[in-house]
């Protein structure tokens, strides 16, 4: 793309906002629309009425192995150094999660060293020749007892499916460790935007070539008199095509936010997972993530649902087949680029969306 073009971007989350900035930087005029009344997509954060910085759509912890992506976002935010830690509750007691040597020692009253932990996993694992499903992944690495204690019911709650119905990649997000490392993520870079995601997005979108229209539907812009040379679409791909091949399933969540006025802290770490108890999957206490000091605290419980805003693509073969039908159409579009978690139907983390958006911009700019 050589001369200045008018570009419409649908969605002001990571995918849309990174594309907007990169296209604006090289001289194109960009209109970003989002049906929500804020930018930042699902990473949106705000101060609640008690002044605690919370994440409206559940806990978002930035982590990446890519120095390029970390440096890219560092142009728009400073960082608060934070390493996420999670504990899983089994029979009313909290254990380090992902499963590590301390988890084994505490759960089974053992005193294993690193080699002992490796031998333990070797003894209990149910080896699988082909690791195709999330059930295969977990049984193959930690065996049935740990599978049932930490994974089976959490996964059933989160997805409404048995682990055997989900692709391996879902459970493969969680490592198994023979050491005592209790960081949730293994990535080199882990940090939170110092002033929050919403501020980072304001900086990202603050450019003379970018216009942002919130509370605005894509179809309303299409039906208006404005003309665009190119569209970057980051919403659900099935909606773009009016569900002509049927609905792609996306998993949703209901977030129950709560402020606890009379206590400084609710729990010992950022997130506590409840694989076997309650209807919710996990509780997150935001002050752990953000480093904010306050005498009261705010938490969120996540209740998985089938209905509601689309949050997670559901990685399984039949959904992939349906997605591919839409992708055939998408690949034929000369004037529309599809990028992001909903448009590509990929279980992307935030850093992966930034990477996908930077690549998408390169492709758009290569076009004549
Ligand atoms: P989105 O953020 O979904 O943005 C798409 C935007 O498009 C939305 O704002 C939507 O309103 C808008 N839109 C859609 N259709 C239309 C339309 N027709 N008209 C107008 N606007 C439209 N990632 C991590 O790296 N670390 C984490 O800790 C983490 N935690 C997560 C926790 C939860 C509960 C969830 C749901 C996700 C989490 N993620 C995490 C993933 C992260 O949220 C995504 O990778 C990222 O936000 C996706 O960005 P996106 O721009 O592709 O999509
Ligand atoms: N998982 C589980 N038990 C847990 C945590 C995770 O079974 O205590 C499984 C579950 O299937 C979940 C997947 O691992 O959906 C990925 O977990 P992650 O924490 O990465 O999910 P996200 O933060 O994306 O919701």
Residue boundaries of the structural domains of the chain: 6-44+195-249+314-366, 86-172
Q: Which residue's alpha carbon is nearest to atom 9 within ligand 2?
A: 171
**154 in contact with ligand 2, CB cutoff 6 A:** yes
Which ligand gives the minimal distance to the CA of 184? Answer: 2
* DSSP per position, 211-266: EEE-S--HHHHHTSS---SEEEE-S-HHHHTTTTT-PPPEEEEEEEEEEETT-S-S
pLDDT score of 262 = 96
Q: Report the separation in Å between the CA atom of 116 and the middle of ligand 1, taken as the mean of its atom positions.
A: 41
pLDDT, one tens digit per residue, over 148-199 is: 999 999 999 999 999 999 999 999 999 999 999 999 999 999 999 999 999 9
pLDDT score of 1 = 60
Which ligand gives the minimal distance to the CA of 311? Answer: 1
Q: Report the separation in Å between the CA atom of 247 and the middle of ligand 2, taken as the mean of its atom positions.
A: 24
C-alpha of 186 from chain center: 16
Which atom of ligand 2 is found nearest the CA of 347?
24
pLDDT, one tens digit per residue, over 285-304 is: 999 999 999 999 999 999 99
Question: What confidence tier does 368 reach under pLDDT thresholds 50, 70, 90?
Answer: low
Q: Which residue's alpha carbon is nearest to atom 10 within ligand 1?
A: 11
- CA of 7: how far to CAs of 27, 29, 180, in Å? 11, 6, 50
Q: Which residue's alpha carbon is nearest to atom 29 within ligand 1?
A: 60
**What tokens appear for 124 in the block?**
């209990």
pLDDT score of 4 = 86
Which ligand gives the minimal distance to the CA of 275? Answer: 2
Q: Report the separation in Å between the CA atom of 109 and the middle of ligand 1, taken as the mean of its atom positions.
A: 41
Residue 167 near residue 316 (C-beta atoms within 8 A): yes
C-alpha of 164 from chain center: 22
Question: Which residue in the block uniquely carries the two structure tokens 């680029």?
Answer: 337
Q: Is the pLDDT of residue 215 over 70?
A: yes
pLDDT, one tens digit per residue, over 225-263 is: 899 999 999 999 999 999 999 999 999 999 999 999 999
| Domain 6-44+195-249+314-366 CATH assignment equals 3.40.50.720 | yes
Mutating to test ligand 1, I would choose from 350, 355, 361 the residue with most ligand atoms within 8 A of its C-beta, which is 350
Distance from C-alpha of 103 to C-alpha of 90, rounded to nearest angstrom: 11
Question: What confidence tier does 341 reach under pLDDT thresholds 50, 70, 90?
Answer: very high
- Whether the model clears a pTM of 0.95, i.e. scores above it, the answer is yes
The percent of residues above 90 in pLDDT, for the chain, comes to 98
Comparing CA positions, the residue from 306, 310, 307 lying closest to residue 341 is: 310
């Amino acid at each position: 793309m050589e001369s200045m073009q008018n570009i419409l971007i649908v969605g002001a989350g990571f995918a849309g906002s990174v594309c907007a900035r990169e296209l604006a930087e090289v001289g194109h005029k960009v209109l970003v629309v989002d049906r929500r009344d804020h930018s930042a997509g699902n990473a949106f954060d705000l101060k609640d009425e008690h002044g605690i910085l919370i994440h409206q759509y559940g806990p978002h912890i930035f982590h990446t192995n890519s120095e390029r992506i970390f440096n890219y976002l560092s142009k728009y935010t400073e960082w608060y150094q934070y390493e996420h830690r999670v504990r899983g509750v089994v029979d009313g007691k909290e254990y380090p999660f992902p499963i590590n040597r301390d988890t084994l020692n505490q759960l089974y009253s053992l005193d294993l060293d690193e080699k002992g932990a490796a031998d333990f996993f070797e003894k209990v694992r149910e080896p699988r020749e082909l690791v195709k499903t999330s059930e295969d992944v977990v049984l193959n690495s930690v065996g049935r007892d740990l599978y049932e204690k930490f994974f089976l019911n959490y996964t059933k709650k989160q997805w409404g499916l048995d682990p055997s119905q989900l692709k391996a990649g879902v459970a493969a997000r969680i490592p198994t460790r023979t050491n005592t490392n209790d960081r949730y993520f293994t990535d080199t870079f882990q940090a939170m935007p110092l002033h929050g995601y919403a501020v980072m997005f304001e900086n990202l979108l603050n450019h003379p070539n970018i216009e942002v229209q919130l509370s605005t539907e894509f179809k309303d812009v299409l039906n208006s008199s404005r003309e665009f040379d190119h569209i970057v679409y980051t919403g659900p791909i099935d909606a773009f095509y009016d569900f002509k091949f049927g609905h792609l399933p996306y998993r949703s969540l209901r977030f129950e936010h709560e402020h606890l006025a009379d206590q400084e802290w609710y729990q010992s770490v950022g997130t506590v997972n409840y694989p076997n108890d309650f209807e919710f999957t996990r509780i997150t206490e935001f002050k752990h993530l953000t480093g904010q000091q306050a005498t009261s605290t705010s938490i969120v419980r996540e209740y998985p649902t089938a209905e509601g805003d689309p949050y997670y693509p559901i990685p399984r073969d039949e959904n992939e087949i349906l997605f591919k039908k839409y992708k055939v159409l998408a690949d034929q579009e000369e004037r529309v680029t599809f990028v992001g978690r909903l448009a590509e139907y990929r279980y992307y983390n935030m850093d992966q969306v930034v990477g996908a958006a930077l690549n998408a911009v390169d492709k758009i700019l290569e076009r004549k």
